[in-house]
Amino acid sequence: MKKRIMSFFMTALIFVLWACRVNNESSGIIGEPAIIPIPVKMKIEAGSFTIGQNTAIYCKTKDLLAPGKLLAAELGITEVREGFGKGVNLLTAGTEEKSLGTEGYKLTVSADQVTILANKVNGIFYGIQSLLQMLPVQKGCCQVSKPGSFQIKCVEIEDFPRFRWRGLLLDVSRHFFTIDEVKRMIDEMVRYKFNVLQLHLTDDQGWRIEIKSLPELTNVGAWRVPRTGLWWDRKSPENGEKATYGGFYSQKEIKDLIKYASERFVNILPEIEAPGHSMAAIASYPYLSSTGLKYKVNPGSKFYTIEDNSLCAGKESTYEYMDKVFTEVAGLFPFEFIHIGGDECYKGFWKECPDCQKRMKDNGLKDEKELQSYFVKRLEKILEAKGKKLIGWDEILEGGLAPNAAVMSWRGMEGGISAAKAQHHVVMSPVDFAYIDYYQGDPAVEPPTFGMLRLNKVYTFEPVPEGVDSSFILGGQGNLWTESVPTFRHAEYMLWPRSFALSEVFWSPKNSRDWAGFMHRTDVNLERMKQMDINFSTSFRDAIIQPSKDKKGNLLIQLDTETEGFELFYTFDNTWPDHHSPLYKKGEKLTIPNDADTFRVITYRDGKPAGKMITVSLAELAVRVR
């Protein structure tokens, strides 16, 4: 009896301690601040600093007033002054702090004041992002202006990024997103210290940027017939059907977006696809293809190898067209790189094109791969004449890489390895770790897409392969292709929290990876996102179903989770599982009861449902084994 009473009190004590821990950590007062990406160095001190509506923000120099005002808007503070005082202080170092580089910062919180010190203004900006992640979660960012005050823990942080390229891609061609939505994405990504946004502006399904010298690119190329349903299963455009779905950015809007991004230290990388993925351009100007036929902007129906979506590499008029496009794009975007795509170029029509074949013969090119290399090298010269550097997907390696080109490696790491060993700069963006348009949970409860990439695998991404000189690895990038992402709300669902993991991969030291700690910080930051009405996925809390078959061909089911601390309850009897249902024992293989046709499972944590209930037919699970 004594043991049972003692057990009861121990359980109650553990629960109380856990509740206090959760409450205190979510408030940002007790325990280690839940900062993503995790800082290089962080020392927790005793005490706290109180921030209220009367707290002043002091900027040591005038160039710090802009980030100071951004911070004031977040905190609901009206007073931003030049100088130094007992408040929040922003100052650049009088003598260069070499360890911080151009983007690092030191954040010191004492009982009297907060100080953010950096060599450059962008370092101050990143220190501000860490400070904002120390705010009490229950108040929510942008809600501090409500009456009252709150405390942040005293701390000393020294922090700087591992890589200078910390990127995300948003595909605005497959589905169009407004300027305001792109700005919202910038607001979200800078909180986690991303500094490059690649806009996939052109593809087979839409041309999204105004080119004044080529007006048909937006008059025709920006619009397609409306379709919903699965990508590649959609009906082709019909004769006489109006193209009403799409949109584009005017040059005025692009300039406004670039200004907005630059104020938040984000470089926007424009991508103009060539020579493949060019159906929208060819629909606008049919002379650009090898066939010269009239095509329509593709709505997501099958067309590859059937219709010619590659720019003709033989006609000189193609290069004149590219020069016009790049002249206007280079004049708009200040970033040093322009992305030319270069991937998945179907060359079958080139084989039948007299202009392409003549170009090959005149230049001693042995095959169409070398013709694509010739094409890319011509584009590189056009861009260099405009003061820009060329970057493209790793297919630009085929047939010989342009002399000064940088490579974005997506078909794995191999292309990046080859480019780096040839002393070309590389951005690592491999499909296995960085394609955040893929499933992040069981396909039975996720919107349809093309592959699987769970949060825990993203967190294992290492951008510098063994045996490669790290000086040639600029950094990494996560790519959100939008064939299956029709709304910005769903884009957020796909971005977060997998982009948390990418931010830590790109910023924090390699040896700081700690999955359990990252999961705790993820929970806190998702609660903050909830307060800010940002959509996100909790699929990492769902069960992982692993079907297999025994030697006799009988179906077996094994279960797992991405992280520890979950209980799994399941049913085979067509009822909804809860904490009274059978509890799964880790490692066991469940056998299928006679005549069962459906399996259901749900995760619990701390006595409450944690993930989505997954319902899947046993027939489907049997198919997954094949």
Mean pLDDT of the chain: 93
Question: What confidence category does residue 148 fall into, taking pLDDT thresholds of 50, 70 and 90?
Answer: low
Residue ranges with strand state E in 188-300: 196-200, 202-203, 206-207, 223-224, 245-246, 267-271
Residue 535 to residue 525: CA distance in whole angstroms: 12
Residue 235 to residue 577: CA distance in whole angstroms: 40
Helical ranges in 76-177 per DSSP H:
121-132
Place of tokens 């009473």: 5
For residue 21, the model assigns a pLDDT of 40
Helix H or strand E encompassing 218: helix 216-219
For residue 600 the two structure tokens come to: 């259901």
435-479 confidence digits (pLDDT tens): 999 999 999 999 999 999 999 999 999 999 999 999 999 999 999
* Residue 270 confidence (pLDDT) above 90: yes
One-letter amino acid of 171: D
Q: Which residues contact 574 (CB under 8 A, 6 or more apart)?
A: 597, 598, 600
For residue 138, the model assigns a pLDDT of 65
Contact 200, 173 (CB under 8 A): yes
* Residue 74 confidence (pLDDT) above 60: yes
Residue ranges with strand state E in 325-415: 337-339, 389-393, 406-409
For residue 7, the model assigns a pLDDT of 43
* Residue 4 confidence (pLDDT) above 80: no
Q: How much of the chain, in percent, has pLDDT values that exceed 70?
A: 93
Helical ranges in 340-487 per DSSP H:
348-351, 354-362, 368-385, 414-421, 431-434, 455-458
For residue 6, the model assigns a pLDDT of 42
For residue 544, the model assigns a pLDDT of 98
518-546 confidence digits (pLDDT tens): 999 999 999 999 999 999 999 999 999 99
For residue 113 the two structure tokens come to: 């004041």
Q: Which residues contact 553 (CB under 8 A, 6 or more apart)?
A: none
Residue 349 to residue 288: CA distance in whole angstroms: 12
Residues in the chain: 626
Q: What's phi and psi for 107, nearest 5 deg?
A: -115, 120
Residue 57 to residue 128: CA distance in whole angstroms: 12
Percentages helix, strand, coil for the chain, rounded to the nearest 5? Answer: 35, 20, 45
Residue 287 DSSP class: G
Q: Which residues contact 95 (CB under 8 A, 6 or more apart)?
A: none
Contact 136, 200 (CB under 8 A): no
Would the CA dihedral through 309, 290, 219, 202 be positive or negative?
A: positive
For residue 589 the two structure tokens come to: 């293989």
For residue 219 the two structure tokens come to: 């008059």
Question: What confidence category does residue 189 fall into, taking pLDDT thresholds of 50, 70 and 90?
Answer: very high
Residue 370 to residue 354: CA distance in whole angstroms: 16
169-187 confidence digits (pLDDT tens): 999 999 999 999 999 999 9
Q: Which residues contact 137 (CB under 8 A, 6 or more apart)?
A: 26, 27, 28, 524, 527, 528, 531
Q: What is the CA radius of gyration of the chain?
A: 27
Helix H or strand E encompassing 298: none
- DSSP string of 474-534? EEEEEEE--TT--SHHHHHHHHTTHHHHHHHHHHS-GGG--HHHHHHHHHHHHHHHHHTT-
- In DSSP terms, which residues pair with 548 in a beta bridge? 556
- In DSSP terms, which residues pair with 407 in a beta bridge? 392, 426
Query: Rounded to an integer, what is the distance from CA 267 to the centroid of its chain?
Result: 15
Residues 596-615 as b or e (16 or more Cβ within 10 Å = b) = eebbbbbbbeeeeebbbbbb
* Residue 118 confidence (pLDDT) above 50: yes
Residues acting as catalytic residues: 203, 277, 344
Residue 28 to residue 543: CA distance in whole angstroms: 30
For residue 150, the model assigns a pLDDT of 81
For residue 330 the two structure tokens come to: 């280079």
Over residues 309-313, mean pLDDT = 98
Residues 363-382 as b or e (16 or more Cβ within 10 Å = b) = eebeebbbbbbbbbbbbbeb
C-alpha distances (whole Å) from 274 to each of 114, 280, 363, 378 are 50, 11, 20, 12
Contact 599, 618 (CB under 8 A): yes
16-58 confidence digits (pLDDT tens): 333 334 334 433 344 579 999 999 999 999 999 998 878 999 9
Residue 390 to residue 402: CA distance in whole angstroms: 9
SS3 (DSSP) at 200: strand
360-403 confidence digits (pLDDT tens): 999 999 999 999 999 999 999 999 999 999 999 999 999 999 99
Q: What's phi and psi for 458, nearest 5 deg?
A: -55, -40
Residue 200 to residue 184: CA distance in whole angstroms: 17
One-letter amino acid of 230: L
* Residue 496 confidence (pLDDT) above 80: yes
Q: At what angle do helices 2-27 and 515-531 cross, to 10 degrees?
A: 60
Domains of the chain from N-terminus onward: 32-159 (3.30.379.10), 165-531 (3.20.20.80), 542-625 (2.60.40)
For residue 337 the two structure tokens come to: 């790189």
Residue 50 to residue 73: CA distance in whole angstroms: 17
SS3 (DSSP) at 462: coil
Q: Which residues contact 604 (CB under 8 A, 6 or more apart)?
A: 566, 567, 568, 569, 579, 610
Question: What confidence category does residue 108 fall into, taking pLDDT thresholds of 50, 70 and 90?
Answer: very high
**Higher-confidence residue: 239 or 6?**
239
* Residue 511 confidence (pLDDT) above 90: yes
One-letter amino acid of 334: P
Q: Write down the number of H helices and E strands in the chain.
A: 18, 26
- DSSP string of 545-598? EEEEE-TT--EEEEEE-SSSS-EEEEESSSSPP-TTSPBPPTT--EEPPTT--E
406-425 confidence digits (pLDDT tens): 999 999 999 999 999 999 99
* Residue 508 confidence (pLDDT) above 70: yes
Residue 472 DSSP class: G
